[in-house]
Amino acid sequence: MPRPSQLLHPQRDPAPTRPAATVLLLRDGAQGMQVLMTRRSATASFAPGAYVFPGGTIDEGDTQSHAHATRRPSQSDAQLTQAIAAIRESFEELGVLLARHADGQPATAADIATLDRAAPLAPQCAARGLTLAAADVYTLAHWITDRDLPRRFDVPFLVARMPEGQTPVADEAEQFEPVWVRPADALARHAAGQFFMIFPTLRTLERLQAYPDVASVLAACTGEQPLWTSCPRAGWLAGEDARYMEHEAPFGELALVTPDGQQLHHLDWQSRQPVPLLKNVLRLTASNAGFMTGPGTNSYLVGDPRTGYIVIDPGPADAAHIERLWRAAGDQIRYIVCTHSHADHSPGAKPLQALCSDPKPPILGLASRPTARAASQFTPDRELQNNERLALTVTAPEGEITHTLRTVFTPGHAANHVCFVLEEDGLLFSGDHILNGSTTVVDPPDGHMGDYLDSLDRLADICQSDGVQFILPAHGYVLGNAAQVIAQLKQHRLAREAKVLAAMLAAPGGSMDDWVAAAYDDVHPRVWPIAKRSMLAHVEHIRALGAAP
């Protein structure tokens, strides 16, 4: 983890969470599955005016009502309590009752008419021979309110089929305007500004719209584990509130820059100003955005004004970008290092060095290998050694300050590819070996799939040994949960290789065009010309392993 002394913003404790439960009541309609939603009071303390699913805080009575509820054998005590809370809230807010008679028949409108929505539910049901139908309620998802909000909840999103013959009636205090709506229609109305919903509701409906009917949703939830768990993070994009789940590209960057959830970080890509990620890490993105470079090549400045800086990947031969790097470092550059020799990473090294005052900072890295293409030639002032450390150190009133960058040889994307670990803060600068938003191209002869996979294993070991949690790629936002990212990337590569092998075995006399159409059938054909470059690396690796002729 980064040192607290290097965090940009003062640490704080996010507001504590309160246990709650919400339930998506579902029914099948003529045009597809529908979900019951209501509008919250405009004066509500949480999500005022938003369309939501019924639910609320779990109370002590819910825990004490287990004896009055049905239960699946696989349903935990916690899940039972949550289901009871959701049943109670849907009754109090909408007059919908998930309960059964002793013969298994569901509660009817006549049963509901005898009950008081303002009185404790479980005792009333027990007195009338009704049992709360908690066994009919399943866990869909688990949401934890964003760290930046003052009121936070720990909420399972549950699902159940709407009982036949019942009509929702809002309490007109907390909830108004019950409405049945298809998930896709709710999302469209929200986009048009007619149906306001908060982030977890939106993301839940986005996933729910993939299911054709209620039965398919309930079947997906029989494993008793949430299909996803999320505590979103918030930043700013184009001047507006922007929130992201763990799998979305900006999440890791927000976790690094504002770990306690403060909504302070701006996510807009621009090339004119450096973006502080920590006190000792700045990112400046070159203005070379494109299909292969994403938002542009990220150059990083590691260090601070007292220690001086190490520049990682000065980028393309872009005079404006190079001058901005030099100015951002205040002409205090101690080393210039390049992850590899490709044209968007290393050509800026010598022009940047020329701007620097004497003594000139050395340009370090690995020279391009004989397999490199003509446009990827690079000769450093000195070749780095594997595991070599570059240290910036200064004695300050608060003690010695050190920033140490360790070299890790990672051939694969290019034969001379190098990654760097900022040891004191557990950061991995991955160059093009690991990207955010796409997989890197492994292009023979300079690219080698076997080396690439071996290098992934090496980086996975480093994540464990060095406590690395964040990856700073040459393209895209910071990645969080580094070990998981690497594991998923390797799994993706091996799965792709399995598809390439299957294509080769199915058409042993086929061409590369034949194989790419089969092995990359899940990507747009316009990507196939680029995909063929990595596919060739897979083909060579497969043949080297003797798995196909």
Residue 489 has pLDDT above 90, yes or no: yes
Residue pLDDT, tens place only, 46-65: 778 899 999 999 999 999 99
Does the bond joining 19 to the residue before it have cis omega, within 30 degrees of 0? no
103 CB contacts (<8 Å, ≥6 apart)?
none
pLDDT in tens, 406-419: 999 999 999 999 99
pLDDT tens for each residue of 441-465: 999 999 999 999 999 999 999 999 9
Q: Which residues pair with 254 in a beta bridge?
A: none
Model confidence at 173, pLDDT cuts 50, 70, 90, reads: confident
Cα separation, 517 vs 513, whole angstroms:
6
∠ at Cα 381 (380, 386), nearest 5°?
A: 65
Query: From the centroid of its chain, how far is CA 242?
Result: 13
Mean pLDDT of the chain: 95
Structure tokens at 102: 């002793």
Condensed to tens digits (0 to 9), the pLDDT of residues 183-209 reads: 999 999 999 999 999 999 999 999 999
Q: Which residues make beta-bridge pairs with 338?
A: none
The two beta strands, 418-422 and 399-409, are antiparallel
